[in-house]
Amino acid sequence: MNKSWDNTYKEMWDERYKENEFVYGKEPNLFFKEWLQKFDPGTILMPADGEGRNGVFAAELGWKVTSTDLSEEGKLKTLALAKEKNVSLKYIVGDLDQLHFDAASFDAIGLIYAHFSAEKKSFLHKKLNDCVKPGGIIIFEAFSKLHLLYNGRDPKVGGPKDIDMLFSAAEIVTDFENYEILLLEEKEITLEEGKYHIGKGSVIRFVGRKK
């Protein structure tokens, strides 16, 4: 894997999360919030959880949460938010491709704007798939390839500028081929998440249950 790319990406997120405010807000992603509440709490893995708004929300619902991210600054913000909400979770700092999780060890995975380099994204999805128990779920929302039309016009909406880091529905079907599709859609939405997700964007949304 490309170490120099990873280091640059880590430095970018550390710098962003050093800001005093929660740069994507403290409230959970609305799609994640809606769908997580449909399932009974169990164990959940939250890759690329950043400042922890989604992991902390899951913990508030009674899930046993393991969050990961490249950023130590993100971990500090997450633990502060968890303390504020009077919940606890496990937070691991490191490259996801270097972390180990036991097979079939999670009831759910939340992938919320978890964008990875083109060379990693399918590899990481398949790695995460191995961690999900049969009958477990994945809740996924991230920018679609059409999003380049949106963040090209309005940078406040955020998202990668590299089309290969963005997603298509076909990629999701391929990466998670052993899942019953509960929802799969490409949709224009209006984001109001902190200061870096503001405005209209195009997303892929997927909820699947492992067969």
At 150-181, the pLDDT tens digits run 999 999 999 999 999 999 999 999 999 999 99
- On the question of pLDDT at 5 being above 90, the answer is no
| % of the chain surpassing 90 pLDDT | 93
pTM of the complete model:
0.95
Give the pLDDT confidence score for residue 9 in this predicted structure.
Answer: 78
| Other C-beta atoms lying within 10 Å of the C-beta of residue 190 | 10
CB neighbours of 132 closer than 8 A, spacing ≥ 6? 104, 106, 107, 108, 109, 138, 210
| CATH architecture, domain defined by 3-210 | 3-Layer(aba) Sandwich (3.40)
At 51-64, the pLDDT tens digits run 999 999 999 999 99
Residue 1: band (very low, low, confident or very high) from pLDDT cuts 50, 70, 90: very low
Domain boundaries, the chain: 3-210
| % of the chain surpassing 70 pLDDT | 97
DSSP string, the chain: --HHHHHHHHHHHHHHHTSSS-TT-SSPPHHHHHHHTTS---EEEETT-TT-HHHHHHHHTT-EEEEEES-HHHHHHHHHHHHHHT---EEEES-GGG----TT-EEEEEEES----TTTHHHHHHHHHHHEEEEEEEEEEEEBGGGHHHHTT-GGG---S-GGGSB-HHHHHHHTTTEEEEEEEEEEEEEEETTTEEEEEEEEEEEEEE-
At 104-134, the pLDDT tens digits run 999 999 999 999 999 999 999 999 999 999 9
